[in-house]
Amino acid sequence: MSIAETIDIPARAPLVPPAPPRAPENMGPFGRMALMRKSAIDTWGQRAYEDDIVKGRFFGHASFILNAPDDIRHVLVDNYENYTRTPAGIRVLRPMLGEGLLLAEGRAWKHQRRTLAPAFTPRAVSTLIPHMLSAIDETVAELHKVQGTVDLREVMQRMTLEIAGRTMFSTGMARHGRALRDFVIDYGMNLARPHFLDLLLPLGWPTPQDISRHFFRKRWTRFVAMLIAERRAAGKLEGAPPRDLFDLMVAARDPETNDAFSDAQLGDQVATMILAGHETTATALFWALYLLALDPETQDRVAAEAHAAGDGAGFEALKFTRAVIDETMRLYPPAFLIARAAAGPDSLGGEAVVKNDVILIAPWLLHRHERLWEQPNAFMPDRFMPGAPAPDRYAYLPFGVGARVCIGAHFALVEATLALAKLVGAFRVELDEIEPVLPIGIVTTQPDRSPKFRISRR
């Protein structure tokens, strides 16, 4: 039994953290487009938080926002082969992720998924925990030196990138971390934001942004190839067990064909894992720290659990910390939108779907849906504690569900839980400002600015 389960929790009104206002229902396509470039979350009106299905138009195609668990199961599980990544999603993500697992489709995806799966089992992830802990401990040591205020968002981004680097290559990111972060930030600020033509034109027609993306991709693949060449030069001891994700991916063979990844495929997988993994986890940790700064009592419960569990605390012992991560990802799901394009006709909630219709399953909406959750906008980690009624499997989707569920979900949960326990166990975290921080939905659920935090030793 964890310490949190034994603590007597006083009844009090739960925290309701800030959220953006809901959009007017009757907005025209151009107003919606302008808002979408700023934040897709800002384009959703009240109906999207109440109805099972919201039908609209999206650049010449019908669009459906799905909130009914049965319809979501239909699209992501029962008939998933009829639903592919959207052209806009591919356009925006391919320059960084190439043909890696996140964007692959059909046979190529099946081959990659079954080849990579063994590298992400709980057992394989447990071999990577020492890499995670070394980067977390170094971050805590660095934070002990902070005087005055600190930008915890930037610290979380550096820490998760460091973890991605060490778990991937066994080496720190001291030399290349800065350049890698610059690539990611530069892309996120500019080329990841869809323009009007990105949404309007079919994939085969390059938009002006695509030309810039093409040149970006050339620089990026050169950079990733350099990282891989350095890692290969560091070699692997003959007969030694794999020590990092790179070793696991090099050793991976398709269980049916016995094929290994080619160098180009390996580059795209490395890019996919680093990018899909680090920004999402940094975002989850940022919002967890923000919520805990707004809710000191809950923060104290996390600290008490971390202290009771001790220095060598395993992930399984940190039940309340894990519940805080789960609840954070309910309120601020790092992947706020799962989008699909229909490959052929179907029917959803009594509505006919035709080829190229757009299906939007938005964890942001689903997790705050008025009919699926009690007090949907309140921060209540106890709803995820053992013994509490489990949420509907199709109403809580921080990692998606079905065949394309996040392959790194266990990795991310272990990383985020251990990091939060260590950070909050070491420091009391407070905000140095009172202005609300709001989410911006562009690829991930980023904060609209990096607030200043104050930390003090516990």
Which stretches of the chain bind ligand HEM, using CB under 6 A? 101-102, 113, 272-273, 276-277, 280-281, 284, 334-335, 338, 398-400, 404, 406-408, 411-412
| Chain center to CA of 276 | 7
Count Cβ atoms within 10 A of the Cβ of residue 208 and give its class: 0-12 exposed, 13-18 middle, 19 or more buried.
exposed
What gap in Å lies between CA 285 and CA 419, rounded to an integer? 8
CB of 339 to ligand HEM, least distance (A): 7
Tokens of 199: 């949404």
The answer to whether the beta carbons of residues 363 and 76 sit under 8 Å apart is no
CB of 456 to ligand HEM, least distance (A): 27
Cβ proximity to ligand HEM, 372 vs 407, nearer residue: 407
CB of 232 to ligand HEM, least distance (A): 20
Amino acid at 450: S
Cβ proximity to ligand HEM, 228 vs 304, nearer residue: 228
The answer to whether the beta carbons of residues 337 and 441 sit under 8 Å apart is yes
Count Cβ atoms within 10 A of the Cβ of residue 273 and give its class: 0-12 exposed, 13-18 middle, 19 or more buried.
buried
CB of 74 to ligand HEM, least distance (A): 14
The side-by-side arrangement of strands in the sheet containing 61-66 is: 53-58, 61-66, 358-361, 338-342, 83-84
User: Looking at residue 428, what DSSP letter applies?
Assistant: E
Cβ proximity to ligand HEM, 270 vs 304, nearer residue: 270
CB of 258 to ligand HEM, least distance (A): 21
Radius of gyration in angstroms for the set of CA atoms belonging to the chain, rounded to a whole number: 22
CA-wise closest residue to 332 among 15, 41, 93, 21: 41
The answer to whether the beta carbons of residues 292 and 302 sit under 8 Å apart is yes
Cβ proximity to ligand HEM, 277 vs 425, nearer residue: 277
CB of 14 to ligand HEM, least distance (A): 23
Cβ proximity to ligand HEM, 275 vs 294, nearer residue: 275
Cβ proximity to ligand HEM, 304 vs 401, nearer residue: 401
What gap in Å lies between CA 304 and CA 5, rounded to an integer? 11
Residues 160-191, buried b or exposed e (16+ Cβ, 10 A)? bbbbbbbbbbbbebeebbeebbebbeebbeeb
The answer to whether the beta carbons of residues 291 and 447 sit under 8 Å apart is no
Cβ proximity to ligand HEM, 209 vs 280, nearer residue: 280
Cβ proximity to ligand HEM, 273 vs 302, nearer residue: 273
CB of 116 to ligand HEM, least distance (A): 8
CB of 278 to ligand HEM, least distance (A): 7
| Chain center to CA of 382 | 22
Residue nearest to ligand HEM (CB): 408
CB of 322 to ligand HEM, least distance (A): 12
Cβ proximity to ligand HEM, 161 vs 199, nearer residue: 161
Amino acid at 383: R
Amino acid at 143: L
Cβ proximity to ligand HEM, 120 vs 304, nearer residue: 120
Element counts in the chain: helices (H) and strands (E): 16, 12
Cβ neighbors of 85 (< 8 A, separation 6 or more) are 103, 105, 339, 340, 341
SS3 353: strand
CB of 276 to ligand HEM, least distance (A): 4
The answer to whether the beta carbons of residues 292 and 251 sit under 8 Å apart is no
Cβ proximity to ligand HEM, 407 vs 418, nearer residue: 407
CB of 73 to ligand HEM, least distance (A): 13
CA-wise closest residue to 160 among 73, 51, 71, 274: 274
